[in-house]
Amino acid sequence: MNRPGGGIKPPRQTKKIPDKARQRLFGNFAGVLLPLAGALLIPSLIIFAGSPDPGKSIAAFFVGPWSNSWFLGNTLDSAALLLTAALGAAFAFKGGCFNLGGEGQIYLGGCAAAAVLLVPSGTVPDPLLAASAGCAAAAVGALMGGASGLLRRTAGANELISSFLLSAALIPAGNFLVAGPLRGRTGNLLASEAFSSGRLLPKLLPPSVLSVSCLIALGLVVLAHLFIHYTSAGYCFRVSGAAPELARFGGITPEARFVPAMAVSGALSGLCGFFATAGTYGMAYSGFSGGMGWTAIAAALVAGNEMLALVPASLFLAALKSGSDSALLQAGFGFETAAFIQAAVLLLAALPLGKRFISRGKE
């Protein structure tokens, strides 16, 4: 159709430009859900081969974590702890760093929180004391993580090695605190005194240990997703980690993100320690982190370091552990068999199937 000026009106564009961010998000979720769904076959095969009562063991494994409010709440609480620590690991990955010190940051952060929560009653209001404990835990984790980022920025030290060594060096210090200055005097357990109820995080699903840490963790995931994908600072952060040479070409300094990435990662791990002591256990005991930092790295890798995909990844891994524990308690399942199931499923869950969906969407 001719326009009044004699020109020809261009045809209206009907083909939509594919949303690359949406494709990437879909691919990361596919990378979480598809391998994990396939990996569900492994527990069944192992249970049939190694359990004296396969039917009871399978029911306990798959249904146990959701069978009542106590199991459900405990499973969700484990997922919340893992989600917080996994968010820290993913944040470091996004900034082009690898934080291997999460285990120590969780443990030392929890010890710092315990030291604050054991302040004698009457000096500080309990809600303010609990908030201070959370800040102390995050600060300790941030110092540990930020130190590794600073070493990389100033001295070129590999943050993977420095974060691991710093964590390994300070975990004995946490053991000393729990067995010495923080240890309770009323029992034989290597643990602090139980915190007063007013200093604990409010429970959501009694009698389980689920607390408001679950809601806080979900809120942190949403904030991290919005920061990474919808702010200019997050764009610079993301590009610096994914393509440092391209970032330099665009006037962005990737090295300037090392310290913030590791500090925020450590702060989130330390906050996980606070959630564990003030929400889950109500005290700090020796070795309470229990490999949580390493499982968090696995969750971040399974989720493809996509913030929102951390939620199903953490929930699945928490349910996997809860299911193994349930089968162990209810059906006489062997401890070694339960550990083997977790290892096998983690191995299959790490398969990068999501990348195939991303590539297919670009075709």
pLDDT digits (tens, 9 = 90+) for 4-50: 554 555 445 444 445 566 666 565 555 555 556 655 677 677 777 76
CA 289, 80, 322 angle in degrees (round to 5)? 75
Average confidence score pLDDT of the chain:
83
Residue 360, number of CB atoms within 10 A of its CB:
11
For residue range 135-172, list pLDDT tens digits in order: 999 999 999 999 999 999 999 999 999 999 999 999 99
* Structural domains of the chain sorted by starting position, each given as residue range(s) with its CATH number in brackets: 21-31+39-362 (1.10.3470)
Most confident by average pLDDT, 65-69, 97-101, 335-339: 97-101
Across 296-304, average pLDDT: 86
- 213-218 own/partner pairs: CB under 8 Å, 24+ apart: 213/77, 213/80, 213/81, 213/84, 213/275, 213/279, 213/280, 214/76, 214/77, 214/79, 214/80, 216/80, 216/84, 216/275, 217/80, 217/81, 217/83, 217/84, 217/87, 217/275, 218/80, 218/83, 218/311
Q: What is the pLDDT of residues 253-282, one digit of tens each?
A: 889 999 999 999 999 999 999 999 999 999
| 117, 215, 308, 357 from 205: Cα distances, Å | 23, 12, 24, 38
327-334 average pLDDT score: 64
Answer yes or no: is pLDDT of 339 > 70. Answer: no
Stated pTM of the model:
0.83
